[in-house]
Structure 1
């Protein structure tokens, strides 16, 4: 009966089949113990009513894409690559063909699985050469393509990679920004990505980026949330955890290290490199790093990591620092990460290898350089034949790279337009993973022509904050403050003088509160006190102020809301509650979009262009866009017609362009303190007051969001709210009038 129901297609009737399927599979019905009012008393029978089948959900997405274009933030234009990507046949330097019909079974992961983290660390130290970690599957595309590369691209080249990089230290493929972006913009489950990659590559260790006490979130979480997350990550495929803290706060770092050790993973305790160690006037000098390394090693980390997130570790500094660390810790593996923003990445990594580093980071050639990692081909060639030989086959690497060269063209809509190295990074110190995003954010907020000002403001913002270590999430604090300054025409001195009147971005206030930990050298005063205006100040790590997460409660609530919840769903929700909720709603509406070929995920097909979608093995949809109907003036909708497996289907889509109204809002008078204006362009996500409400100076009026940056707009003085001219969801430009406040 169920099989017959599945084969039914009833046009115009959407409730009968899901209801009958729910009834036939309900335990009470199966047991034959129903009662007269069973249907009335069992509301879950109706839970699936109104749902569409997978094909229809997919057509709904494709129809919306055809009418409204891609909704993925950061996309500009359509992919340059229109054909089918060619998967290379792998062969070695001597042109021996490699059988890639199955994944390779031998690699460094075997030691971790069979003997454990300590044995892995010992084996690495006994290895004569310098190992390579390939960042192509995470940081490379995060830095160059806004983290937008989908899981399918990794899986398509996974078996070939397992052979070509069988002697690699690891594939960096998870954590960091890829976790929330997968749900937020790609509509994928990051845990599903991890499981699928792990199955496809059983031999090479997987490494992830863990933000210490933040997990993969942007602020500190209760300790038990970090322990729960690391347990799940280890269980589903992560081998090596690069644990860092954005401020090099050892108390924050310790939480992540202990969580990884308890989960049984290889722990890479990491210090973040900032500034110029060789400049005696700089805050972060040689002694600072040696002292920090000592504290990390004493916490029990298996590996000592050095994370040069902006690419400012010059070759001479690398030689001195890594050489000293190797001499001091002869039994601890050293792993170095950098970005190639200044163009010196290959030289710095070669210097690290020669000074005693056990592993360095690199990316496939076509996704290397600039804000990404240095070229894997260049490093392998530079070390070939030396005592630091990587043991990788450069011919096989080039064949793998031919695949990624095609993929980069496919994701061309997310390119930042960088054309070469930028040695100015030694001045502004913007991390590689942030630089491309900051360029995009600046253009989205109307600052594209002021990019030079934004870079200068980044330097000034860093100085205002006390010259902090800059990596997610602290780099976001500096970037948010820099854009805030440019948007409002604020100089360094203006920001200090007007601090008590300014509505700083939320991330800046969270930093000043201490929610990101304690910065080396302390917080800047009196700016901190003036900006916080009486808000709390934390002088210890945030986790000590936070109640443990009730994981059982979260699990129960998710099951009630979504009809089921895996332990990884629980972990996702704890890290990103709203992002997870939005992701679940999206997939309930459009289904699993991971099956859609990337080109048709990002852009509509040509009229009468045929393409295939494999829903599952053996079930293929043959699709063709036939026509896009005219706009209905009454409803603002269009009919989109597709041919699916020879049958014409239509979906109704609301044309968002037709519904857009060009709202002209009055501007706030900057000389009139009773008029509250928007500090920058963005979207109103929350209104905290009503017309006529009494407010005090500093009370929140509204919350504004712009590209992950949130700020609270507060009352400039006490009084009564009048002329509230915005509502939640409204878009506003800089200085648009939000409301007026009549003075007491």
Structure 2
């Protein structure tokens, strides 16, 4: 049996939960000392969305192993072998068990799908086995591995590699996951991934209870007692209820076989919907899914898993936001301001896709921008960890650990924001789930245990009126003492938004192509600019977009500042 911790969603703990991912791993390891833990390692991307210096990947694996990680499932979003080999070497050198995982897309049982064929997967597996992987994995991110294709693929791998453990991972987005995993087991797979019943199905993994029941009495009998499965499922059913506002079942009521068409990974599907909603496209998610198919074709039919899936998703939302078809994008590629992820992919920042980059689209987008030849990390200078440690101590104080340094190396901006939040609000992991997500109700009393023997008794009393700064005075009792504090009402501040809009019929007014936060301004008032020159950078839900100038001229007035939140079409600047 195997546990999972410190997955590829490394940044989520800091970004959304304001918790240290390393502390989570340490606590889990202490509580669960004898079950192997497994994590995803995105090859040369480590646990991020870009390439890192080689020494950062090696150091990360070393520290992860020291903190209790055992198995490293190494993959690459493009199945780019040099990136995978680096991750395998880093995990192996750290003393971990190496599982090289091939990302699956297409359909090996469909003769019309000629790019990712059975030979493609067997040949790639041959290279990984030669390189010394301990386990061979198939990572079916979107759940497009149908039963017949499962039999063909696993049988071929079993015939070629009779002695290596085969591990198959899928998602149940289409509803056919149990059938596919039963076919994998029958064809010779050693391990298939499942999820406890109350957490299974749709974009999760197939049902554990269904797999246990369907294999009972057969040669693949798991020996697991159904009563134990039921008890475990009941516990997680209650836990799941706490996260109902974020549950994909709010928008996805059943399996969707359209995944065979759009190939959106299970891990991205709900995130993409939430991202679309935050960008004002919540009512256009059907269009986003259709655009995802077209964006994938524009980019050359990619293997889609983080970060390549994010690139396809960013382009799809960009297309829907700006009412662009595939033909529009390809025809206007030299004029459009594409998301940063799309531009960096075309520059070669995450590796070389199988079959090469799409032309002439790539040349049109990049124009004179530099390109990386070969493995991206090979051309990056080593990370200076001593210098980084010194900078972090100066910025956040002396209590910086080795683990903190690695967090900052992987996600510098997210780590800084996490540290600032922790300095302002303290250890929010002490709050129970409902209080953290929703806050207390008026007149509600609750306790917060900071540490053993140190408990705060708090009672929420009243909320004041909204002031001009978007704040409310919050009144509460703390251990019987009346207190108040000013708190920003972020929801109300969004409703107070009154930024001027760019007029589409006024040529020099440049509007925001999407809702987002201004993270950089590239020009100054009075500056002469050329057509295509970057003006500013917007960020929304991990998607960054550079707004380029559609014409040459002079910057007349800038209407935005850094960290300002904009809606779509909000006026950024005027050019004359």
The residue that corresponds to 1:340 in the other structure is 172
The residue that corresponds to 2:563 in the other structure is 729
Rate the CA distance shift 1:718–1:606 in 2: closer, same or farther, 3 A.
closer
The residue that corresponds to 1:315 in the other structure is 147
Cα deviation digits, residues 628-679 of structure 1 (max 9, x gap): 3x33758765432323333333333344566563314232426x65443322
Contact 1:668 1:736 in 2 (8 A): no
The residue that corresponds to 2:21 in the other structure is 190
What is the SS of the residue equivalent to 2:483?
A: strand
The residue that corresponds to 1:271 in the other structure is 102
User: What CA distance in whole angstroms lies between the structure 2 residues aligned with 1:454 and 1:442?
Assistant: 8
Structure 1 position 475 matched with structure 2 position 306? no
Structure 1 position 419 matched with structure 2 position 253? yes
Structure 1 position 617 matched with structure 2 position 452? yes
Q: Which has the higher contact order (CA 8 A, sep 6+)?
A: 1
The residue that corresponds to 2:70 in the other structure is 239
Taking the TM superposition and a 5 Å limit, the aligned residue runs for 1:646-657 are 646-656=480-490
The residue that corresponds to 1:686 in the other structure is 520
Taking the TM superposition and a 5 Å limit, the aligned residue runs for 1:8-19 are none
Range 421-430 or range 733-742, more displaced: 733-742
Rate the CA distance shift 1:658–1:375 in 2: closer, same or farther, 3 A.
closer
The residue that corresponds to 2:207 in the other structure is 375
User: What CA distance in whole angstroms lies between the structure 1 residues aligned with 2:300 and 2:428?
Assistant: 45
Cα deviation digits, residues 358-406 of structure 1 (max 9, x gap): 1110111111100010111111111122222223222112111111101
Contact 2:352 2:374 in 1 (8 A): yes
1:549, CA displacement in angstroms?
0.4
The residue that corresponds to 1:92 in the other structure is none
The residue that corresponds to 2:30 in the other structure is 199
Structure 1 position 598 matched with structure 2 position 433? yes
Contact 1:623 1:643 in 2 (8 A): yes
Rate the CA distance shift 1:351–1:654 in 2: closer, same or farther, 3 A.
closer
What is the SS of the residue equivalent to 2:260?
A: helix
| Structure 1: gaps spanning 5 or more residues | 1-167
User: What CA distance in whole angstroms lies between the structure 2 residues aligned with 1:655 and 1:468?
Assistant: 42
Taking the TM superposition and a 5 Å limit, the aligned residue runs for 1:20-169 are 168=1
1:219, CA displacement in angstroms?
0.5
The residue that corresponds to 2:228 in the other structure is 396
Equivalent of 1:577 in 404, 412, 415: 412
Range 279-288 or range 632-641, more displaced: 632-641
User: What CA distance in whole angstroms lies between the structure 1 residues aligned with 2:111 and 2:568?
Assistant: 42
Contact 2:75 2:84 in 1 (8 A): yes
Structure 1 position 361 matched with structure 2 position 196? no
1:442, CA displacement in angstroms?
1.3
Taking the TM superposition and a 5 Å limit, the aligned residue runs for 1:525-536 are 525-536=359-370
1:335, CA displacement in angstroms?
0.5
The residue that corresponds to 1:294 in the other structure is 126
User: What CA distance in whole angstroms lies between the structure 2 residues aligned with 1:299 and 1:691?
Assistant: 56
User: What CA distance in whole angstroms lies between the structure 2 residues aligned with 1:400 and 1:268?
Assistant: 27
Equivalent of 1:662 in 497, 521, 535: 497
User: What CA distance in whole angstroms lies between the structure 2 residues aligned with 1:184 and 1:377?
Assistant: 33
The residue that corresponds to 1:642 in the other structure is 476
| Structure 2: gaps spanning 5 or more residues | none
User: What CA distance in whole angstroms lies between the structure 2 residues aligned with 1:635 and 1:555?
Assistant: 36
Range 598-607 or range 263-272, more displaced: 598-607
User: What CA distance in whole angstroms lies between the structure 2 residues aligned with 1:731 and 1:668?
Assistant: 19
Structure 1 position 172 matched with structure 2 position 7? no
What is the SS of the residue equivalent to 1:362?
A: coil
The residue that corresponds to 2:389 in the other structure is 555
User: What CA distance in whole angstroms lies between the structure 2 residues aligned with 1:390 and 1:237?
Assistant: 27
The residue that corresponds to 1:250 in the other structure is 81
Rate the CA distance shift 1:669–1:224 in 2: closer, same or farther, 3 A.
same
User: What CA distance in whole angstroms lies between the structure 2 residues aligned with 1:230 and 1:655?
Assistant: 40
Say what the alpha-carbon RMSD is for the aligned residues.
1.6
What is the SS of the residue equivalent to 2:5?
A: strand
What is the SS of the residue equivalent to 2:6?
A: strand
1:470, CA displacement in angstroms?
0.2
Equivalent of 1:514 in 335, 348, 358: 348
Contact 2:538 2:544 in 1 (8 A): yes
1:443, CA displacement in angstroms?
1.6
1:265, CA displacement in angstroms?
0.3
1:275, CA displacement in angstroms?
1.2
1:539, CA displacement in angstroms?
2.4
Contact 1:227 1:259 in 2 (8 A): yes
User: What CA distance in whole angstroms lies between the structure 2 residues aligned with 1:437 and 1:381?
Assistant: 32
User: What CA distance in whole angstroms lies between the structure 2 residues aligned with 1:617 and 1:668?
Assistant: 59
Rate the CA distance shift 1:638–1:173 in 2: closer, same or farther, 3 A.
same
TM-score (norm 2): 0.96
User: What CA distance in whole angstroms lies between the structure 1 residues aligned with 2:389 and 2:214?
Assistant: 51
Contact 1:631 1:655 in 2 (8 A): no
Contact 2:501 2:511 in 1 (8 A): no
**Residue-pair matches, total:** 571
Rate the CA distance shift 1:652–1:445 in 2: closer, same or farther, 3 A.
closer
